[in-house]
Amino acid sequence: MSQVGANGSSGPIPGQSAAGRDEPVVVFENVSMAFGPTPVLEDLSFTVRRGQTRILLGPAGVGKSVLLKLVNGLLRPTHGRIFVFGHEISAMKEQELFEVRGAIGTVFQEGALFDSLTVRDNVGYRLIEEHLPDEEITRRVTEALRFVELEHTLEKFPSELSGGMRRRVAIARAIVTNPRLILYDSPTAGLDPITSTTIIELVMKQRDVSHTSSLVVTHRLQDAFILAMHRFSVETNGMVPLPAHQADEHTSFLMLNQGRLVFDGTTAELVKSNDPFIQAYLS
């Protein structure tokens, strides 16, 4: 397994790092991706550092979901290198990738829950695969479901839940093993505004309570700015707005257009950008 980091040094083993906040969790180096002759992503380079939440914006069909699948190795780039926790995952075999993926939580666009398993078995899937005792699985699953306020759905099947509840169960499944990186693929797509806000609040809670690094894909500006301009309050168990003209310091933006990265910066820089595409997108 390749463990050479982006800077050429040996990378840490997932889950055992003691490095500081600046430690890169995800590094893209000149990554391109094409399906057949059609290029989807071209020459992308960016970094997600420890504790950072990076919001990936862009129009529908621009390759945002493809980018997330590149991060956890579900797809391989046609060019360039991708490092996750210091491992060059773009050069690893599928068997080796399973170990790295153990430290990554993924929330798929439609939840992608296993429809023949109960909520308990869905959320505890990874724990069951690790052959943990039943009592411990139930305890940890209940804990994760409590985080998304769905502990009463333990024995239900995904088909018995609403769209928003399924998405919350998917978040519980992603966080149950306390991953070091969470990938959210349009977690609010197709949901009503109230449910969307609930989901974004959960993403924020994970960011501010567990300080987990994350990459959030969305094409909904409203969700992106709620995430950037609010913080989660443990006292009120809800989100509270940050003071005027302030944004969360650990949250920043990436923007894709026509397969290229057209923006990489903070919330303030995004709002003040003179790029015509960004201005049109934000307006």
Instruction: Tell me which residues touch other proteins (CB under 8 A).
Output: 69, 72, 74, 94-95, 98-99, 101-102, 104, 106, 108-110, 112-115, 125-126, 129, 131, 173
- Closest to other proteins by CB, 190 or 193: 190
Q: How far apart are CA 183 and CA 185, in angstroms?
A: 6
Shortest Å, Cβ 47 to other proteins: 21
Shortest Å, Cβ 114 to other proteins: 6
- Closest to other proteins by CB, 30 or 116: 116
Question: Are 53 and 216 contacting, i.e. CB atoms less than 8 angstroms apart?
Answer: yes
Shortest Å, Cβ 131 to other proteins: 8
Question: Are 31 and 43 contacting, i.e. CB atoms less than 8 angstroms apart?
Answer: yes
Cβ burial of 3 (10 Å; 0-12, 13-18, 19+) is middle
- Closest to other proteins by CB, 56 or 226: 56
Q: How far apart are CA 251 and CA 243, in angstroms?
A: 15
- Closest to other proteins by CB, 38 or 283: 38
- Closest to other proteins by CB, 24 or 111: 111
Question: Are 219 and 209 contacting, i.e. CB atoms less than 8 angstroms apart?
Answer: no
Shortest Å, Cβ 273 to other proteins: 33
Shortest Å, Cβ 177 to other proteins: 9
DSSP letters spanning 10-54:
BPPPTT-----TT-EEEEEEEEEEEETTEEEEEEEEEEEETT-EE
The end-to-end CA distance of the chain, in Å, is 46
Shortest Å, Cβ 91 to other proteins: 18
Q: Which of 77, 75, 97, 102 is nearest to 87 (CA)?
A: 97
- Closest to other proteins by CB, 131 or 245: 131
